[in-house]
Structure 1
Amino acid sequence: MVSEERFLLFVRALALLFFLYASLSITLRSVTALLILLVAFYATGKSDKSKVSNPFLRSKESDLDADLKSSYQKKIADFVFYDPEMSEVLDHFSPAQQQTQCIFSKTAKLWGAQPWDTTLTFEDNVRRSIPMFIKFTVIGKSLGLDGFLFELPAANYGKDPTTFGQGVHRLLKNLSDADPAGVHCMNKSYIDGRGWYFEFDRESMFITTFSPFYPSSHSRYSFEAPGCYVLFQPEHSFAAHNIEPDTPHTNWEHPVTIRDKIRVAYKKNGREYLIRDTVYYPTSHDIVKPLGINDEPVQWWKGEKQE
């Protein structure tokens, strides 16, 4: 492009010099030189004009027709977004949401991920819901949302706590890798220690999981819901429902606080869960529960390497 412009400039300059040399007197030669000059400027000017008029070189998105822009914007939006309140995942999870002993569960405002597509890879399935998960973290507090629900296929991850833990690790790792804030909490070396919590886009979240292999006497019993579920609950949801800070103490006979009432309800329905004698423990130990209330924690954070 640069060499062509230089060549055209050289042609113009050469024609101009020839005209000046020949035009000292009006002769046949000077007239010829004038014609050559005019032709040179016309030819090179026409070439430049054709480049400028090329629509591919000067078109801008702002110049496009409004209907055309609206058309492709809608197609992109439809590909990326969906209605998370109408997700099939929420329908699948409904038996657990409506029957669990959590006193806020029935009225909780949840968003659901995209339904699992068996023709896609694990990573691609997670990736389909990341834009909506980001939207959830940005506007969830303003909308009073309580959680975002992912569903993993029970055929692959509903066998036992270890297998489920591998799926949970894979899900959290994919989300962590896409963290817009760049924290990447799943890359931390202390996931199994105190002080770690799941974080995405600067939003800390409490994670609860449910799966078909848990018996009806377990706090993570899924009430015959068809899949394996990972529920992300942002901290602002607990504050909105005035749930008190964690405590090792429970008033079993005369429950007063919300935590008291939840713990009593689970125990009364035969689904008592472990309440430690301290609030200083790794939160990761409660993400995927073992089958027995006093069993060793499921080491889901090790992924495929867990024992």
Structure 2
Amino acid sequence: MSDREFVLTLSCPDSRGIVAAVANLLAANDCNIEESQQYGDHYTSRFFMRVQFLAEDPEVGEDTLRGVFSALAGEFRMDWDLWRRDARPRVLVMVSKFGHCLNDLLYRQRSGLLNAEIVGVVSNHPDLEFLARSYGVEFHHLPVTPENKAEQEVRLLELTDSMGVDLVVLARYMQVLSEDLCQKMSGRIINIHHSFLPSFKGARPYHQAHVRGVKLIGATAHYVTADLDEGPIIEQEVARVDHTYSPEQLTAMGRDLESVALARAVNWHAEHRVLLNGGKTVVFR
């Protein structure tokens, strides 16, 4: 991957000429488009675009590109950003006692399958410290009680600042984040949630699903908002089951689905393929 490859993402009111304007601007600055995806939402009249390109002229750097795009953004009222493609987001993973999603993410990172860098693990329990240490990742034990929750969230924010964290991933972290924290890190926290039809809340969801005889089980990866488990959805994974599945089998299958859905969501976020569209997302896969 070249250090002269960039990713541009944008959203703006939909109108004619946006794609042509972006393409012409890139061509005028000796940039070659390698991948381009766009979507116009007829219901919200918003336009979304992701462009991956190579700046072929060594004199055209990130600062130059930001300057020329700023002028275009003003013309079309764009919300936009530009990233170097080889820059990997720094990720802090939060977990409680279930380690399947954490283990999957750590393994993917070691195998070169995760386009992000896990710089630390935070947990309200000490149980998974051995797992983080085995991958050479720093572990932080922040036990949470009703009395110290606000204090621990302050410590969490201090950690994200000191470690230069771009994204927080809740890999089965069994604590509800405060509204204040959700707002401060809006669009920068991804959660994985077991999702069934119907949806089972509370303890032992797979056992509840077994009692009700579900035919589909699944998992949903979404951005965290102050509305519990109702943030914009990034990815979902499902599997068909039947009456022969035990609660233990449902649990094992569900954990696999959670791991896969979360890993995809983290990778797509890291590659700047996810754009917020109100209460939902546009995902350029």
Normalised-by-shorter TM-score class: under 0.3
Q: TM-score, normalised by structure 1?
A: 0.23
TM-score, with length taken from structure 2: 0.24
Which structure has the highest strand share of the two? 2
More helix by share: 1
Bigger Cα Rg = 1
